[in-house]
Structure 1
Amino acid sequence: MSFRAQFELHDWNEVKQSIYSKTSADVETALHVSKRTLEDFKALISPAASRYLEPMARLSRELTQKRFGKTIQMYIPLYLSNECTNICTYCGFSLDNKVRRRTLNADEILKEVEVIKSLGYEHVLLVTGEANQTVHVDYFKKALDLIRPHFAQVSMEVQPLNQDEYEQLIPLGLHSVLIYQETYHQEDYRKHHPKGKKSNFNYRLETPDRLGRAGIYKMGLGVLIGLEDWRTDSFFTALHLNYLERTYWQTRYSLSFPRLRPFSGGLEPKVEMTDKELVQLICAYRIMNEEVEISLSTRESEKFRNHCIQLGVTSISAGSKTNPGGYAVEPDSLEQFEISDERSPAQIAEMIRMGGYEPVWKDWDNVFV
């Protein structure tokens, strides 16, 4: 059964009610069983689990260290373009924002690469808006040709592509693709994406399947926390991850937890998520899945990131710029969203070491693929 078929079997409101009806007994069962189900995950993200943060944090830390050791992988985003043909209510690159657009050319890309390399990075995440007439597959091919020789690992967070397009990019060094559903609530998805190719909910929903069939090494999942009830959206993310791991078992997976941050349009979150609730969610995912990688970006505060590296996080960004040319070419161009943790990569690496962990600049697993 396809994921879309599985997804359509679940009613949003029924799932939400099921999560909010979980009890302390359900949480205790989820913490102590040897093999956990999605019902256990519901318990771990439920309001009832808020009283169990300490045992959840201990178990999450133990499971993370057992699988990943005491290491934190470092990565940095490289924004190639802010051109976009979509209207998205939460994004600074949205078509209806009247800002100057730019897409980096080859010389500008190499200038950005030079600065990023000087910071010590071996893992770069390429990011663009969604503008098929400008940042299309041929553009990505040229960008990969320029960038791949300088890094051990190249990931992308761009518009969803067709399977054959991913198959063209993977041999050029594309290691990972991040594709966030934003929200699994179909009505709210339509509300936040009124124009552009991104308004096609099902095409985006089926992107991980196209990636899996194309043979991608790793894919990242997530939702934009704040658009809808975070607990329900997180269940559907877990449902999606569970399906993908069983169907494309040779692919590795990562999760991210971007909380809605300010941008030039000023959209306020529909649902607020506290720091304690984000800790709960991170621990719940780790307890549910020992293998999944968990990433935390500079959207989060210094204090929060300092704390969370010991709770289940396995990768972290630092020194991030969320605008094209932000490192060298045009530092003052429009950002996609505001960052919170503005420390340098060296400062983040030192923070990681002070916490008893080791910053890792290269994904050695990729060497053996």
Structure 2
Amino acid sequence: MSVTSQHSKNRVPSGNKTGRDLFYEVFREYAWKDIEEEIYAKTASDVRRALQNTKRNLEDFKALISPAARPFLEQMAGKSMQITQRRFGKVIQMYAPMYLSNECQNICTYCGFSLTNKIPRRTLTDEEILREADFLKNKGYDHILLVTGEANSTVGVPYLKNAIRLIRPYFSNISIEVQPLDTDEYRELIEEGLYAVLVYQETYHEECYKIHHPKGKKSNFKYRLDTPDRLGEAGIHKTGLGALFGLKDWRTDSFFTALHLKYLQKKYWKTRYSISFPRLRPHSGGLEPKVVMTDSDLAQLIFAYRILDEDVELSLSTRENMNFRNNIIRLGINSISAESKTNPGGYVVDPQSLEQFEISDERSTEEITDMVHDQGYEVVWKDWEKGY
């Protein structure tokens, strides 16, 4: 075992030492190969110990996501459900994405909006944004996620500020999933009413990251990796993390996501955090997953995150199929999307425009709500108010 690997077994994310150290400095202390070997070397005894512990650490998380944990899935599911109900109750929060633009200056091998894809590009006007917002508000949504490609000249901070101003009268909770920004730019958006930012690293394997992001601002691995630090410095209410499963070993990527989470929780303790679980989905001219993550694998990972951290929000999108979503909401997930459209104007303005990726669960908001109620859970449309 290397010095780096031995160090990683006992290390707790140190947070801020100098006042300006960011996650990249912590990240560099861990070697991907060593972490991967440690995860796959975990034994049934390690899994039992992790399940028995009352307070779990990243070593326990390695055991819970390891192949050795497969025979323990039923026990993990029960513990995950118990923890989730104790912390959040029998409720599921609902949100909807609203795509504003498919303009993008990045080349990403797995994305339908990639610069290399010869597709009609579209950015919604003010009137079109309001039409989409009106449709989602009438469906009952109060949590909205604004999504764009990464094109600063078209959908930069001025466009985002305007969009937030337009829809603020409709929704009490506005989040974004857009290009990473600087700290002062996030502060500007927070002043306009921004609540949360989702920024997925895609993969924490630096060389693999470069292969799948060869051009554009997104090709800067370090700048993207340190984005949650800038969000914490800006005072964001909630930050969403995640890796895109299908690019590299999902277990190792998930360890680094958990490491990132623990670092952020310690350093920016006033901020709330969420984890999402996107698996690579088809799109026009798309990349096939290099690593397959099965439904059983995804369930194991969700259970492991919940057992590691009872406070983190675990969110599942319509990328996943109907049966999986029906069964998993009682076992650890506490936030889901419904009736999602991944194309700009996809709800009412231009339903035929090209999607970023194909969704799997195409049920209506009403059907999803009925399913949640049938399982004995309540739907939460609104759990935060700016004035509080």
Same fold (TM over 0.5): yes
CA distance in 1 between partners of 2:188 and 2:337 (Å): 28
Partners of 1:183 and 1:189 within 8 A in 2? yes
> Is 1:94 aligned to residue 114 of structure 2?
yes
Give a deviation string over 1:73-111, Cα, whole Å, max 9, x none.
000000000000000000000000000001001011011
Structure 2 residue aligned with 1:83, among 92, 103, 108? 103
Please report how far the alpha carbon of residue 130 of structure 1 lies from its aligned counterpart in structure 2 after TM superposition.
Answer: 0.1
What letter is aligned with 1:279?
Answer: A
Give a deviation string over 1:194-251, Cα, whole Å, max 9, x none.
0000000000000000000000000100000001000000000000000000000000
Structure 1 residue aligned with 2:222, among 191, 202, 205? 202
> Is 1:296 aligned to residue 335 of structure 2?
no
Aligned to 1:124, the other structure's residue is in SS state strand
Aligned to 1:154, the other structure's residue is in SS state strand
> Aligned ranges for residues 39-54 of structure 1 at < 5 Å?
39-54=59-74
What letter is aligned with 1:337?
Answer: F
Aligned to 1:337, the other structure's residue is in SS state coil
Instruction: Show the counterpart of 1:145.
Output: 165
What letter is aligned with 2:142?
Answer: E
Instruction: Show the counterpart of 1:213.
Output: 233
Aligned to 2:144, the other structure's residue is in SS state strand
> Aligned ranges for residues 172-183 of structure 1 at < 5 Å?
172-183=192-203
CA distance in 1 between partners of 2:251 and 2:370 (Å): 33
Gaps of at least 5 residues in structure 2 are 1-16
Partners of 1:263 and 1:336 within 8 A in 2? yes
> Is 1:261 aligned to residue 250 of structure 2?
no
Deviates more, 1:9-18 or 1:109-118: 109-118
Partners of 1:75 and 1:318 within 8 A in 2? yes
Please report how far the alpha carbon of residue 368 of structure 1 lies from its aligned counterpart in structure 2 after TM superposition.
Answer: 6.5
What letter is aligned with 1:355?
Answer: Q
Instruction: Show the counterpart of 1:193.
Output: 213
Partners of 2:112 and 2:286 within 8 A in 1? no
Give a deviation string over 1:40-91, Cα, whole Å, max 9, x none.
0000000000110011000000000111000000000000000000000000
CA distance in 2 between partners of 1:76 and 1:220 (Å): 15
Structure 2 residue aligned with 1:233, among 253, 273, 277? 253
CA distance in 2 between partners of 1:310 and 1:177 (Å): 26
> Could you list the runs of 4 or more consecutive aligned residues of structure 1 that deviate by over 3 angstroms after TM superposition?
366-369
CA distance in 2 between partners of 1:30 and 1:43 (Å): 7
Please report how far the alpha carbon of residue 3 of structure 1 lies from its aligned counterpart in structure 2 after TM superposition.
Answer: 1.5
Instruction: Show the counterpart of 2:30.
Output: 10
CA distance in 2 between partners of 1:37 and 1:100 (Å): 47
Please report how far the alpha carbon of residue 24 of structure 1 lies from its aligned counterpart in structure 2 after TM superposition.
Answer: 0.1
What letter is aligned with 1:69?
Answer: G
Partners of 2:144 and 2:175 within 8 A in 1? yes
Partners of 1:89 and 1:265 within 8 A in 2? no
Distance 1:138 1:362, change over 3 A: same
TM-score after normalising by structure 1: 0.99
CA distance in 1 between partners of 2:131 and 2:23 (Å): 41
Instruction: Show the counterpart of 1:113.
Output: 133
Partners of 1:56 and 1:284 within 8 A in 2? yes
Please report how far the alpha carbon of residue 266 of structure 1 lies from its aligned counterpart in structure 2 after TM superposition.
Answer: 2.2
Structure 2 residue aligned with 1:251, among 271, 288, 304? 271
Instruction: Show the counterpart of 1:341.
Output: 361
Aligned to 1:150, the other structure's residue is in SS state coil
CA distance in 2 between partners of 1:4 and 1:266 (Å): 30
Gaps of at least 5 residues in structure 1 are none
Structure 1 residue aligned with 2:75, among 55, 62, 74? 55
Partners of 2:95 and 2:143 within 8 A in 1? yes
Q: May I ask how many residue pairs the two structures share in their alignment? A: 368
What letter is aligned with 2:220?
Answer: N
RMSD over aligned CA atoms reads 0.8
What letter is aligned with 1:7?
Answer: F
Please report how far the alpha carbon of residue 253 of structure 1 lies from its aligned counterpart in structure 2 after TM superposition.
Answer: 0.4
CA distance in 2 between partners of 1:368 and 1:107 (Å): 27
> Is 1:319 aligned to residue 319 of structure 2?
no
Instruction: Show the counterpart of 1:103.
Output: 123
Partners of 1:218 and 1:253 within 8 A in 2? yes
Give a deviation string over 1:296-331, Cα, whole Å, max 9, x none.
000000000000001100100001000001011110
